[in-house]
Every structure is written in C-alpha cells, then in structure tokens.
Structure 1
Amino acid sequence: MFIDTHAHIYDDQFTDDRDAMFERTTAQKVSQIWMPNCARETIDGLMALADQFPERCLPMMGLHPAYVNDTFEDELATVEDYLNRHSFMAVGEIGLDFYWDMTYVDQQFVAFETQLRWAAEQQLPVSMHTRSGHDRNAFAEAADLIEKLALPGLTGIFHCFVGTLDEANRAIDLGFKLGIGGVSTFKNGGLDKVLPHVSLDHLVLETDSPYLAPVPYRGKRNEPAYLRQIAQRIGDLKQISVDDVARHTTANALSLLPALYANLLP
C-alpha cells in the first residue's frame, strides 16, 4: 500500500480522464491521496473530491505562497473560515516561494506564520512548500521561522524536498518528514547524494501531480499511479525492496494523521 502525500488531482488537467486516473492509481496500490489547497479558486474542486471519496482523497486547507498577493488577507480569512467549519487532515500547502516573484515576500511571511499558528492551535500537521530563488534559500528561511516560533507539537512535511543532507537533518531535527517525489529520479536531481544517508523513518512519498513526473514520464503530466517509480528509486538508492519502501513510508504518513482520521488507520 502506498500513500501519495501531495497531489493536486482536482486540477483541470485531470478533467477528461479523472476516472481512468483513479483506476490506474488503484491498480498501483495507492490507497490514499492527500490533496493540498492553493487558494480560493481551488477549494470547490478539492472539496468535491474529498466529499466523493472521503476515505481516499484527504483534503488540506491553506494558502499557497505563490498565490499570495494584494488580496492575501481575504484569502487567509477564507482559509480560516474553512478550517473552523470543516475537517481537514493538514494545513497546506503553505510556505515560501522565492522562485517566480519577490513582490509579495513580506506578505508571504505573514501568511506563513499565520497558518503555522493555526496548525499548532488545531493540532494539525502542515505541508510546506519551500522553493528558493533570487539568491534566497526558502528552506533555510522557513526553518528559521519554525525555530523562532517554537510552536508546541508542530509537525508535518517539507514537501518536494530537494535539499542537502544538512538540510534533511535539520528538517528531521525540527520534527518533520521529507516529502520525496519525482525529482529523486532525475539524473541531476541531487537526492542520490542524500537519500542513502537518511533513515526511511523520515521519508514519505509524493507525486505533486500533475507536476514533476518521475522518469520515465518526465515532461508529461504526473499522476499518483507513478508513485511506484519514486518508491523504486528510493529502494535502488538504499538497496532495499519496493515493499520495504512502501511499508515504511506508509507508516510514516499515517503517523501524521490527526486523531479525527483515526478510522483510516489500518
């Protein structure tokens, strides 16, 4: 059994073949798909899938840093309202993005801290986006903020982890899992120098569908059925079986689920 801890399967790219995508996902033994929110515009699709497949498609609620702009306070108000009125398995996707545009970086920090505090208050894990750029390290600045806040019980996943071994160890010391996706299969992805030295106890699998498809599907639309390629890559790097990768990463993911999802535990 696999768990895809980060996939945007509500995206319009799946509109024409979502049912077939689910069939392929089932065939590859992916039992759960965790869905991060991005902004108000993605909530309807996210909630529709969560309502249709409550034991399979688990929703998060958050404001993605790349969607932070002049209306971010209104966006945060919407996130807060949903967190207070509905059940979610995590706060996400939240964090810092320095890759595309630095116009709203100060606002990104406000949104990030606000949502970290909500997660701690509601005892929910977080799914964190940290994309560097413009000579600024988003992972380091996110970790600095988490250390500064020292929020009791805060945990979650550094989504799409592509950092160094030192950064991996720092994330682990902060109490977080590393979300390993398609980049691990890329020839120059860099994780071949990191994953052999990180215990399986700290890893979870993700696809980030429809983005970052693993080899041999690189450049095509990604989907949860491709999680096995990522697991195989981890197994190859650590010289263990795919079954061992599945067993450990699934247990790691389930350990993050809040109490209200206890009925989903095996």
Structure 2
Amino acid sequence: MMDLNFIDTHIHIDGEEFDADRQEVMDRAREAGATALFIPAIDLASSQRILALCDRHPDFLYPMVGLHPEEVHADWQEQLRAIRQLLDANRQKVLAIGEVGLDFYWSREFEQEQLEAFEEQVRWSVETRLPLMIHCRKAQNEMIAILKRYADELPGGVFHCFTGNEIEARELLQFPQFVLGIGGVSTFKKSHLPEVLPAAVPLDRLVLETDAPYMAPVPMRGQRNESAYIPHIIALLAKSYGVSEKEIGRQTTENVERVFKAK
C-alpha cells in the first residue's frame, strides 16, 4: 500500500480479545501506516491496565482514563474518586479523559448518575486541559445541554463513533474545539455517512477510529476489528470527499495533533 499514515484515536487494545496476539495487532497496525494508537478506558480497572500497557509501548500507545456511561453503577462516586487520583498521579502520561459520556440505549436505570458522572468528568477536562473522548448513544440532547454549560472553557475532544445525520453533525460541530470520530460504520451498506459527511463536516473536523474489537469495516465486517483495517475507512472517506487517501491520512493526523496537542 502507498505510504499512508494515520492515527487510530479509539482502540480497546487492552481488552481480553487481544490477549493472544496483542503484539501482532500492533505490528499489523504499524505496517498499515498507524503512527499511534489511543486507548480509552471504561472504569478504574481498565484505566490502571491501560496505563501499564502504555508504559510498555511508549511512543505508540497512548492512555486515557475515565468512567464509561455503561459502567456507571451504584459505586460510581468511589470509581470516579479513584480514577481522579490515578489521573492526578499520571498527569504527564494521560492523553485524554475517556471514554465518558451518556448511554440511554439499553437502560435509564442510572440516568441521573450518568448525567452527574459525565458532568464531573467534563469538569476534569476543564481543570486539567485534557480533551474528552465522548461516547453518546440515545442521549445527544442531554449531552449537548451539559457541554453548553462549559462551552467557553472546554479544551476540546472527540465525539466518538459518529453515525448521525447532517442536523446532528452540525449540532456537534457548534463546539469548535471538537471533532467527529469516524469508524467502520461509515463503510456499512446502510450507512448514510458517505453522503452526510461531505455535506456537513469539513475535513478538518474528522479523526479516524476503529473502536476495536468492535465494528470492523466492510469487507471485514463480523470479524474482530483492529487498527490495520483503518485503510478501508480512509478509502471510503477519500472517495466521499473527492481527495486522495494520503490526504485523508494527512488531514486527520493534523486534526488529532490539534485536538490532542501533538501527542
């Protein structure tokens, strides 16, 4: 393949799905053109695990810490206290606060707790100047309402796994320091993203992601996802925007460096 370079801004490479061949997954990512992989946490245990993993692979793996909305349970306050201590102790290493956000898709049992946990982690972003990696499912209005309270103070971040329409894209792009994370869903047959993105989203507001091991792009759909598959997403975006694949890699990398302060 051509000399394509890109950054995977969202891969759960710490997960057990990669225990058998993690090094090979990283090697394949490099061969495909990846210059860095960013790893979101979902809770305290994964935050600790990710920091340790990134210590073993500096200059390629970069850690986030945070509490994912689906991991917000009765103990959410204790989890956040411990994650904040971890963040403060590893401030120079941590790339971003994430994966945080709101998810009312399966259940609203902990709706209020999710809202409070998300807002607290948004405040961390304001205090630490670390960007946010935001997960949002069936909760865009609630998420935007919280972000608007801090709009003038937020350093920025990524709206991870964007799959919406032009109206939803424009709502998110009103936060000027934020970008949209585009992954394998964009290649699915029923996806409207090939039309939505060029119509509503400038190229300087996109970053690439896998969300691996989930949501592998076509033609790998149904398999375990990994960073080496990002060129399939790049090919689709290049076709949609009418630019070269190399340009998609270059521009999205520049966007990552802007949002994540040249990590």
TM-score range normalised by the length of the shorter chain: over 0.9
Partner of 1:168: 169
In 2, Cα distance between the equivalents of 1:241 and 1:14?
32
Tell me the TM-score normalised to structure 1 length.
Answer: 0.93
Aligned pair partner of 2:216 in 188, 213, 217:
213
Q: Any conservation in 2 of the 1:207–1:223 contact (CA below 8 Å)? A: yes
Give 1:103's match in structure 2, choosing from 98, 109, 114: 109
SS at 2:14's partner residue? Answer: coil
Tell me, in whole angstroms, the C-alpha distance in 1 between the residues paired with 2:33 and 2:259.
20
How far apart are residue 97 of structure 1 and its match? 0.4
> Per-residue CA shift, 1:57-101, capped at 9, x if unaligned?
110111000000001011101111111110311100000001122
Query: 1:182–1:214: 8 Å Cα contact kept in structure 2?
Result: yes
Query: Does the aligned pair in 1 maintain the 2:67–2:100 contact within 8 Å?
Result: yes
Give the Å deviation of 1:190.
Answer: 2.0
Q: Which aligned pairs between 1:69-88 and structure 2 lie closer than 5 A?
A: 69-87=73-91, 88=94
Corresponding residue for residue 36 of structure 1: 40
How do 1:39-78 residues align onto structure 2 when only pairs under 5 Å count? Answer: 39-78=43-82
2:192 counterpart of 1:190: yes
| Percent identity of equivalent pairs | 40
| Inter-partner Cα distance in structure 1 for 2:82 and 2:241 | 43
Structure 1 residue 167: Cα displacement: 1.6
Counterpart CA distance in 1 for 2:155 and 2:117 is 16
How far did residue 172 of structure 1 move?
A: 1.5
- The aligned residue for residue 135 of structure 1 is none
Would the aligned equivalents of 1:120 and 1:151 in 2 still touch at CA under 8 Å? no
| Structure-1 separation of matches of 2:150 and 2:126 | 11
CA distance in 2, matches of 1:226, 1:67: 28
Q: 1:120 aligns with which of 111, 126, 133?
A: 126
Offset of residue 45 of structure 1 = 2.5
Deviation at 1:102, TM superposition (A): 1.2
Instruction: For residues 3-35 of structure 1, give each alpha carbon's deviation from its aligned partner in whole angstroms, at most 9, with x where no partner exists.
Output: 001110000000111111111111101010011
CA distance in 2: counterparts of 1:235 and 1:41, whole angstroms: 38
| Structure 1 residue ranges without an equivalent (≥5) | 133-137
Q: 2:236 aligns with which of 223, 226, 233?
A: 233
Post-superposition Cα deviations, 1:131-156, rounded to whole Å, max 9, x if no partner, equal 11xxxxx1222112111333513310
CA distance in 1, matches of 2:40, 2:89: 17
The letter of the residue matching 1:229 is H
Q: Give the aligned partner of residue 243 of structure 1.
A: 246
Query: Which residue identity does 1:143 align to in structure 2?
Result: I
CA distance in 2, matches of 1:10, 1:53: 12
Tell me how far apart the structure 2 counterparts of residues 224 and 47 of structure 1 sit (CA, whole Å).
19
In the TM superposition, residue 185 of structure 1 has moved relative to its aligned partner by: 0.3
Cα distance in structure 2, aligned partners of 1:4 and 1:140: 27
Q: Deviations over 1:185-229 (max 9, x none)?
A: 011122123112221010000000111110011111000111111
In structure 2, distance between residues paired with 1:226 and 1:159: 17
Match of 1:159 in 2: 160
Residues of 2 paired with 1:139 and 1:45: CA distance?
30
Q: When the two structures are aligned, how many residues end up with a matched partner?
A: 255
Query: Moved runs in structure 1, 4+ residues, more than 3 A?
Result: none
